[in-house]
Chains A and B, each alone.
Chain A
Amino acid sequence: MKGVYIHIPFCEHLCIYCDFVKERAKPEKMARYVDALLHEIACQIETRQVIDTVYIGGGTPSYLNLILLEKLLMRLQEAIDLKALKEFTIECNPQDINDDLLKLLKRYYVNRISLGIQTFNDSALKLLNRKHTSDTAKNALAMIEKHNFTRVSVDFIFNLPYQTMHDVMTDLKTVITLNIPHISYYSLIVEENTRLFYQLKQGFITQGDNDTEAEMYAQIIDTLTTNGYEHYEISNFAKPNHRSIHNQIYWKDHDYYGFGAGSHGKLNQQRYYNYQSVKQYIEKTLMHGSGLQTTYPYEPVRDYLLMGLRMLEGIDLSVFKTRFGTDIFTLYPKLHECIVQGLVLVENNHLKFTPKGLFFGNDVFALF
């Protein structure tokens, strides 16, 4: 398996919690960026290479205007056989969804749309500086369905400022009613130096504590799993056959290209990332055919475990032994303690989190 991640670092508005590489750019800069991106892809992907998944993320890929987006997709097709992809995902904001966009995406074999809804609560959306409403989101979902995109994922966030358990339940009910097949449900992560960080620090807004967060997480798991969703990764839920193939490339330690500013990749036992500054990325890429800023160590066992254990199916112990030539418990004897503490268990020759362990993943990850 091999994936391609493409980063579009532009947004119309900046959400208060986001610390990804993104900026509000002028159209000319976006055009130059797409040129650089296409140059990088053309230079880096060997012809006739088999690629299994492509994921265009951001930023906001849907913020590119249709001409630019079409240029990107058309040229992408020259490097990658889009029709043969197992999965081709693009991230969109609900307010960007319209017939023309969806037709374009369809034409280039996009078969999965990831929609950044975050919540159906309008006042929370406003506080996050999101520019859509719950109605916009519902309309977008309806339009996506109308255009026969069967594979849809939505991003949701819990433990938002002022969010109550009742609010979470409302979001969950709507998701279930709308029969959305895939949900990434993240707890709000307060990254340093974001607007959210300062607003919380200065006490302008408040957020639930660790108890609230745990209770909400438990409620989410409980509600979704009793309504036909498989909880297959710490923060991801899917109806049968709707799991994200691309994300499993990360979790199962396969190779993936990273294209675009600030993107990360992993190829041939080597990790790397690109320049984060859009300006620098464009300059370097146009000059060298790559925006690579630096490589950094791939730690085979550690990376395998940090990513692999996120999947609820866990780590196949025989596969682990074959791959690394040693038993996992010999390598990490402290795992026995985690079993005693009830954080992990061995079942069907797989090491996996217990339901309790899901809440304390970092305490287990810290062993590796």
Chain B
Amino acid sequence: MSDDRIALIKARQKTIRNFSIIAHIDHGKSTLADRILEVTKSITAREMKAQLLDSMDLERERGITIKLNAVQIQYAHTNGKSYIFHLIDTPGHVDFTYEVSRSLAACEGALLVVDAAQGIEAQTLANVYLALDNDLEILPIINKIDLPSADIPKVKAEIEDIIGLDASEAVETSAKEGIGIFQILDQIIAKVPAPSGDPEAPLKALIFDSYYDAYRGIIPSIRIVEGILGKGDKIQMMSSNRVFEVIEVGVNTPKPVVKDYLGPGDVGYCVASIKTVEDVRVGDTMTHVKRPAEKPLPGYRQLNPMVFCGLFPIDSNDYNDLREALERLKLNDASLIYEPETSQALGFGFRTGFLGMLHMEIIQERIEREFKIDLIATAPSVIYHVYLTNGTMEKIDNPSALKESQDIERIEEPYVSAILMTPKEYVGNVMELCQQKRGIYKTMRYLGETRVELSYELPLLEIVYDFFDKLKSSTKGYASFDYTFSTYKPSKLVKMDILLNGEIVDALSTIVHRDFAYKRGKLITEKLKDIIPRQMFEVPVQASINNKIIARSSIRALRKNVLAKCYGGDITRKKKLLEKQKKGKKRMKSVGNVEVPQEAFLSVLSIDE
């Protein structure tokens, strides 16, 4: 490459600013992103859909970001200079911590958006720490200052006390009202450093995301750290050593725009006929085959699923469609894993692994919505380390696969380190909840005068159950919470089976702590009695451990199901009712001869104790 060109790239590099937005759910991240796109005229009003960056319907509905997106923004400042911003969006949930850390690694700066009325939440804090780990320049922004309950000085004090950031220059904004947006842009230019990479060094490009295109294969989203990447280059993935030829590079503005090359600091995409998502691992480094980088960029990690459940089609004819759906979703999601599973009760399906509960819910919902397959999902399970008396260890992610108790020496379960933040009046409730959930208390510290940070070790199993809901209800929604995997510890765990009409329903088996088994068995059998609709015969519901019945209830027989009225020749009502009943049945799975609704299989999750 000519010296002129290099000089040009270096000059351009000085005008680049790469940043993310860190915010708690509902603190206004997407709205702020929209405003920035708007004032920089990156999109016209006509193209402006509310919260453009969250492109999946599901994301928009849930008001959260699941999928990462990066946008290049050209900003002509009133001082006459032009800048190139790359806004890299991050997912906002604990399940996706690793992805967040990789997108942050693609930035030099981050906007820390804090709700002026609510202050800092645990999730925000976790992400701020990730940003600090990546040496990002953090610009505090107080959002929603137009709210009557806004308390700007308090929130500024929190930012200073809790995170230790200087909040004196924090921009006070209302993204919704468009207040303070230009000020934010000025601060980005002034405070976020331009990327420092050398265009003449060997190529190092960070893969921080990928997406699937039906015609062009897997397309990684990349940040060039050093070197230059252009069309026709032979590239290599440093963790998998797979080699590809680059067909096209470009940037998203948000529309894709083809470029001749990408230089240091550029954030864009790279088309290279990549067929499987395993070849494009988030966090991996892309380099040239001819002149490879010596070392990959730091921080690459292979993601392992933490939560497993069985997914079964309600209509067994949908089995192949379900496999195709999982294959399709997998194209975009390396962390999704699955393998065939057979259940006596539910037939053929897949044991599926997820990063966490939200990830699991999202995948299930997408299968039902985008692929129109009615699903039964079994209660989620974690991976147990089962040490057998013969000295071997088995990893069990499916309760029904657990061996007879006499063969088991001990069972270990995964624990997480959890940070919980709560207003101080709820500390008692939070501690009580953690206690109930077998938590091990670690530390407590005051954050300012009104809030407290607690740290606990908790069994992941308990979090997979209803921990989050319980936390919210016992703190009126004020507590927030974040966790990372810590270690495996031995526990007194047993398998509890559920019998319907005298037969074990393997898909309802769970692993529970021995001390809670009786109580849980009672609650589950009671709950199933309420969830499973009355059938034409009486159905006993029992819970058992090692073939010993520990709890029972019974679903009484249905005695009348007939539409009484004929409604003056209006047959539509009758048909509607029958359709409704049929549809209800369609959502149920015949287990033995008992019609069991979908919710029943998740009932073990949310029981009020």
Establish whether residues A210 and B578, one from each chain, have CB atoms under 8 Å apart when the complex forms: no
Give the residue of B565, B570, B577 whose beta carbon is less than 8 angstroms from that of A264.
B570
B536 beta carbon closer than 8 Å to chain A: yes
Beyond A210-B558, A234-B564, whether A362 also contacts B569 by CB under 8 A is no
In the complex, chain A residues whose CB is within 8 Å of the CB of B556: 211
Beyond A366-B578, A366-B581, whether A361 also contacts B570 by CB under 8 A is no
A265 beta carbon closer than 8 Å to chain B: yes
Establish whether residues A55 and B578, one from each chain, have CB atoms under 8 Å apart when the complex forms: no
Establish whether residues B559 and A214, one from each chain, have CB atoms under 8 Å apart when the complex forms: yes
Establish whether residues A258 and B569, one from each chain, have CB atoms under 8 Å apart when the complex forms: yes
B214 beta carbon closer than 8 Å to chain A: no
A313 beta carbon closer than 8 Å to chain B: no
Establish whether residues A362 and B564, one from each chain, have CB atoms under 8 Å apart when the complex forms: no
Of all chain A residues, which has the CB nearest B582? A366
Query: What 0/1 readout, one digit per residue, does chain B (534-574) give for beta carbons within 8 Å of chain A?
Result: 10100000000000000000001011111111101111101
Residue in B556, B558, B571, B574 whose Cβ sees the most chain A Cβ within 10 Å: B571
In the complex, chain A residues whose CB is within 8 Å of the CB of B581: 362, 366
Beyond A256-B569, A296-B572, whether A363 also contacts B536 by CB under 8 A is yes
Query: What 0/1 readout, one digit per residue, does chain B (260-285) give for beta carbons within 8 Å of chain A?
Result: 00000000000000000000000000
Give the residue of A234, A251, A264, A271 whose beta carbon is less than 8 angstroms from that of B568.
A264
Beyond A210-B560, A306-B575, A362-B562, whether A341 also contacts B569 by CB under 8 A is no
Q: Which of B564-597 contact A (CB under 8 A)?
A: 564-566, 568-572, 574-575, 577-578, 581-582, 585
Of all chain B residues, which has the CB nearest A55? B568
A63 beta carbon closer than 8 Å to chain B: no
Query: What 0/1 readout, one digit per residue, does chain A (339-368) give for beta carbons within 8 Å of chain B?
Result: 001000000000000000011111101100
Q: What 5 A-B pairs have minimum CB-CB distances, sorted nearest first?
A: A214-B559, A361-B562, A214-B560, A186-B564, A264-B570
Establish whether residues B569 and A250, one from each chain, have CB atoms under 8 Å apart when the complex forms: yes
Query: What 0/1 readout, one digit per residue, does chain A (33-67) give for beta carbons within 8 Å of chain B?
Result: 00000000000000000000001010000000000
Residue in B556, B562, B566 whose Cβ sees the most chain A Cβ within 10 Å: B562
Q: How large is the interface on B (under 10, 10 to 19, 20 to 34, 35 or more residues)?
A: 20 to 34
Give the residue of B561, B568, B571 whose beta carbon is less than 8 angstroms from that of A57.
B568
Establish whether residues A251 and B566, one from each chain, have CB atoms under 8 Å apart when the complex forms: yes
In the complex, chain B residues whose CB is within 8 Å of the CB of A258: 568-569
Establish whether residues B564 and A189, one from each chain, have CB atoms under 8 Å apart when the complex forms: yes
Q: How large is the interface on A (under 10, 10 to 19, 20 to 34, 35 or more residues)?
A: 35 or more
Establish whether residues B534 and A210, one from each chain, have CB atoms under 8 Å apart when the complex forms: yes
CA distance A214 to B565 in the complex (A): 16
In the complex, chain A residues whose CB is within 8 Å of the CB of B561: 359-363
Q: List 5 A-B contacts (CB under 8 A).
A: A5-B569, A189-B564, A214-B560, A306-B574, A362-B581
In the complex, chain B residues whose CB is within 8 Å of the CB of A187: 560, 564
CA distance A307 to B573 in the complex (A): 12
Residue in B559, B560, B571, B572 whose Cβ sees the most chain A Cβ within 10 Å: B560
Of all chain B residues, which has the CB nearest A247? B566
A139 beta carbon closer than 8 Å to chain B: no
Give the residue of B534, B559, B566 whose beta carbon is less than 8 angstroms from that of A310.
B566
CA distance A366 to B565 in the complex (A): 16
In the complex, chain A residues whose CB is within 8 Å of the CB of B563: 189, 234, 361-362, 365
In the complex, chain B residues whose CB is within 8 Å of the CB of A211: 556, 559
Q: Give min CB distance, B470 to chain A, whole Å.
A: 25
CA distance A256 to B558 in the complex (A): 36
In the complex, chain B residues whose CB is within 8 Å of the CB of A214: 559-560
Of all chain B residues, which has the CB nearest A251? B566
Q: Give min CB distance, A3 to chain B, whole Å.
A: 8
In the complex, chain B residues whose CB is within 8 Å of the CB of A251: 566
Establish whether residues A271 and B560, one from each chain, have CB atoms under 8 Å apart when the complex forms: no
Residue in A55, A57, A258, A366 whose Cβ sees the most chain B Cβ within 10 Å: A366
Q: Give min CB distance, A271 to chain B, whole Å.
A: 7
Beyond A211-B556, A211-B559, whether A273 also contacts B534 by CB under 8 A is no
A263 beta carbon closer than 8 Å to chain B: yes
In the complex, chain A residues whose CB is within 8 Å of the CB of B534: 210
In the complex, chain B residues whose CB is within 8 Å of the CB of A96: none
CA distance A309 to B581 in the complex (A): 18
Q: Give min CB distance, B459 to chain A, whole Å.
A: 38
A213 beta carbon closer than 8 Å to chain B: yes
CA distance A282 to B48 in the complex (A): 44
CA distance A263 to B571 in the complex (A): 11
A7 beta carbon closer than 8 Å to chain B: yes
In the complex, chain A residues whose CB is within 8 Å of the CB of B559: 210-211, 213-215, 359
In the complex, chain A residues whose CB is within 8 Å of the CB of B564: 186-187, 189, 234-235
Q: Which of A202-221 contact B (CB under 8 A)?
A: 210-211, 213-215, 217
CA distance A215 to B568 in the complex (A): 27
Q: Which of B63-114 contact A (CB under 8 A)?
A: none
Q: Which of A254-279 contact B (CB under 8 A)?
A: 256, 258, 263-266, 271, 273
A283 beta carbon closer than 8 Å to chain B: no
Establish whether residues B562 and A273, one from each chain, have CB atoms under 8 Å apart when the complex forms: no
Q: Give min CB distance, B164 to chain A, whole Å.
A: 51
Establish whether residues B571 and A271, one from each chain, have CB atoms under 8 Å apart when the complex forms: yes
Of all chain B residues, which has the CB nearest A364? B562
Give the residue of B558, B560, B585 whose beta carbon is less than 8 angstroms from that of A217.
B560
Of all chain B residues, which has the CB nearest A265? B569
CA distance A310 to B570 in the complex (A): 14
A303 beta carbon closer than 8 Å to chain B: yes
CA distance A251 to B577 in the complex (A): 18
Q: Give min CB distance, A176 to chain B, whole Å.
A: 21
In the complex, chain B residues whose CB is within 8 Å of the CB of A271: 571
Establish whether residues A264 and B572, one from each chain, have CB atoms under 8 Å apart when the complex forms: yes
Q: Give min CB distance, B577 to chain A, whole Å.
A: 7
CA distance A266 to B569 in the complex (A): 8
CA distance A258 to B570 in the complex (A): 10
Establish whether residues B565 and A186, one from each chain, have CB atoms under 8 Å apart when the complex forms: yes
Residue in B561, B565, B569 whose Cβ sees the most chain A Cβ within 10 Å: B569
Establish whether residues B560 and A359, one from each chain, have CB atoms under 8 Å apart when the complex forms: yes
Q: Which of B25-62 contact A (CB under 8 A)?
A: none
Residue in B564, B570, B581, B582 whose Cβ sees the most chain A Cβ within 10 Å: B564
CA distance A341 to B564 in the complex (A): 21
Establish whether residues B536 and A360, one from each chain, have CB atoms under 8 Å apart when the complex forms: yes
Query: What 0/1 readout, one digit per residue, does chain A (62-105) give for beta carbons within 8 Å of chain B?
Result: 00000000000000000000000000000000000000000000
Q: Give min CB distance, A112 to chain B, whole Å.
A: 15
Q: Give min CB distance, B362 to chain A, whole Å.
A: 31
Establish whether residues B560 and A360, one from each chain, have CB atoms under 8 Å apart when the complex forms: yes
CA distance A214 to B559 in the complex (A): 6
CA distance A97 to B562 in the complex (A): 33
Q: Which of A278-318 contact B (CB under 8 A)?
A: 296, 303, 306-307, 310
Query: What 0/1 readout, one digit per residue, does chain A (209-249) give for beta carbons within 8 Å of chain B?
Result: 01101110100000000000000011100000000000100
In the complex, chain A residues whose CB is within 8 Å of the CB of B566: 233, 235, 247, 250-251, 307, 310
CA distance A263 to B570 in the complex (A): 8
In the complex, chain B residues whose CB is within 8 Å of the CB of A256: 569
Q: Which of A164-202 contact B (CB under 8 A)?
A: 186-187, 189
